[in-house]
Structure 1
Amino acid sequence: MVEYLKQASFVGVRSLDEAERFYGGTLGLVLQDVRPFALVHETPTTQLRITAVEEVRAAPYTVLGWVVDDLDREVDRLTAAGVSFNRYDGMDQDDRGIWTAPSGARIAWFLDPDGNNLSLQG
């Protein structure tokens, strides 16, 4: 059996400068600059590569998400920074846009500047 050491995720963006402002500035991720190809965020068990692409084809589903300690606080912080949280027909979301799944998980969705659908779970 092969031992996989780390999981890598990818998200495509048109502008690494704009992505750096959003992912690094607004979200607060620590980014390694490996331009002209990508920005990289490392954790002990994962790697996120924010990759420069010619054309972003935003998916209609979540492409990337994070689990946070305090979802309400993080939604409030991002809202104050100008992030808008998505609303979906047929989903019972609270005033912040947070949906509670049958499992009890609480989830909020938002878009990056390229329209990639991201989520927070708490």
Structure 2
Amino acid sequence: MTSHESGPLAGARVATRLPAGDLDRARRFYAGTLGLEPVDERPGGLLYRCQGVDFVVFQSAGTSPGTFTQMAFEVPDLEAAVAELKRRGVVFEDVDLPGLRTRDGIADIEGNYPSKGARGERGAWFRDSEGNLLGIGQPIH
């Protein structure tokens, strides 16, 4: 299989799953802080949709280690998104690693993921109410 479009999952939709120790607390965070409302809900989870892409926050006894980005949002204006989220009470992570350092919550990232067709990206990270590490990115063209 040499084509990226062959194989049993090539036509599948991808959806992120984020664990929540307290689903009601998570719902309040995603609504009140991020401004997102579920498009569907069941007793054990909430389905959200952003620009046609789904993610689920589900009730779980397990927790995320929060040591890596579990889901990211791509925005056209990172500084504006970070400023608005700070205004809503979001605390952004400070990162100080070789090649990756945040200033005022935002990092300039050399290079980029190959699929974005950009020369770089700016990024910021924060945790949701359940400790999941979420990112926000803006490709640099």
Shorter-chain TM-score above 0.5: yes
Q: How does 1:1-122 map to 2 (within 5 A)?
A: 1-2=7-8, 3-43=10-50, 45-90=52-97, 91-95=100-104, 97-103=105-111, 104-122=120-138
| Count of aligned pairs between the two proteins | 121
Q: For the pair shown, which has the larger CA radius of gyration, 1 or 2?
A: 2
Structure 1 or 2: larger strand share? 2
Please identify runs of 4+ aligned residues in structure 1 that moved more than 4 A.
none
Partner Cα separation in structure 2 for residue 108 and residue 52 of structure 1? 26
Instruction: Read off the aligned partner of 1:46 and give its amino acid letter.
Output: V
Shift of 1:28: 1.5
Partner Cα separation in structure 1 for residue 103 and residue 135 of structure 2? 15
86-95 or 58-67, which deviates more = 86-95
* Identical columns (%): 31
TM-score (norm 2): 0.77
Contact 2:21 2:59 (C-alpha < 8 Å) held by counterparts: yes
Instruction: List alignment gaps of at least 5 residues for structure 1.
Output: none
Cα RMSD (Å): 1.7
TM-score (norm 1): 0.88
Instruction: List alignment gaps of at least 5 residues for structure 2.
Output: 1-6, 112-119
